[in-house]
Structure 1
Amino acid sequence: MTVKVSHITHIDNLISILTQGCLWSDHKRIELGLVNQNIGYSHIKQRRLVRPVNVATGGTIGQYVPFNFCPRSVMLFVIHKGHDDYQGGQERVLHLISDIDTIRLTNDNCFFTDIHADLDYAEQIDDFTRINELDLERIINERYWSDFKEEKQAEFLAFESVAWHTIRQIGVKTQAVAEEVSVLLQAVQHKPEVIVRPKWYC
Structure 2
Amino acid sequence: MTVKVSHITHIDNLGSIVRQACLWSDAKRIELGLVNQNIGYSHIKQRRLARPVKVATGGTIVQYVPFNFCPRSVMLFVIHKGHLDYQGGQDRILHLISDTDTIRLTNQHCFFTDIHADLDYAEQIDDFSRITELDINRIINERYWQDFKEEKQAEFLAFESVPWATIQQIGVKTQAIANEVNALIHMAAHKPEVVVKPQWYY
Q: TM-score when scaled to structure 2?
A: 0.99
Q: State the superposition RMSD in angstroms.
A: 0.5
1:126 corresponds to: 126
Residue 179 of structure 2 is aligned to residue 198 of structure 1: no
Residue 166 of structure 2 is aligned to residue 171 of structure 1: no
1:66 corresponds to: 66
2:30 corresponds to: 30
CA offset digits 1:77-123 (Å, max 9, x no partner): 00000000000000000000000000000000000000000000000
Q: Which runs of 4+ in 1 moved over 4 A?
A: none
What's the offset of the Cα at 1:50? 1.5
1:82 corresponds to: 82
Q: What secondary structure, in the 3-state scheme, does the structure 2 residue paired with 1:170 have? A: strand
What's the offset of the Cα at 1:47? 1.0
Count of residue pairs the alignment pairs up: 202
* Structure 1 portions without partners, runs of 5+: none
Distance between the aligned counterparts of 2:126 and 2:170, measured in 1?
A: 26
Distance between the aligned counterparts of 2:127 and 2:117, measured in 1?
A: 16
What's the offset of the Cα at 1:2? 2.7
Q: TM-score when scaled to structure 1?
A: 0.99
Matches within 5 A, 1:12-161: 12-161=12-161
Q: Percent identity?
A: 83
Distance between the aligned counterparts of 2:81 and 2:64, measured in 1?
A: 26
Distance between the aligned counterparts of 2:92 and 2:130, measured in 1?
A: 35
Residue 167 of structure 2 is aligned to residue 185 of structure 1: no
Distance between the aligned counterparts of 1:49 and 1:183, measured in 2?
A: 35
Distance between the aligned counterparts of 2:34 and 2:178, measured in 1?
A: 24
- Structure 2 letter corresponding to 1:119: L
- Structure 2 letter corresponding to 1:105: L
CA offset digits 1:95-152 (Å, max 9, x no partner): 0000000000000000000000000000000000000000001100000000000000
Distance between the aligned counterparts of 2:24 and 2:49, measured in 1?
A: 13
Distance between the aligned counterparts of 1:130 and 1:2, measured in 2?
A: 11
2:3 corresponds to: 3
* Structure 2 portions without partners, runs of 5+: none
What's the offset of the Cα at 1:187? 1.9
CA offset digits 1:133-190 (Å, max 9, x no partner): 0000110000000000000000000000000000000000000000000001112110
Distance between the aligned counterparts of 1:173 and 1:182, measured in 2?
A: 14
What's the offset of the Cα at 1:46? 1.2
Distance between the aligned counterparts of 1:118 and 1:201, measured in 2?
A: 23
Q: What secondary structure, in the 3-state scheme, does the structure 2 residue paired with 1:148 have? A: helix
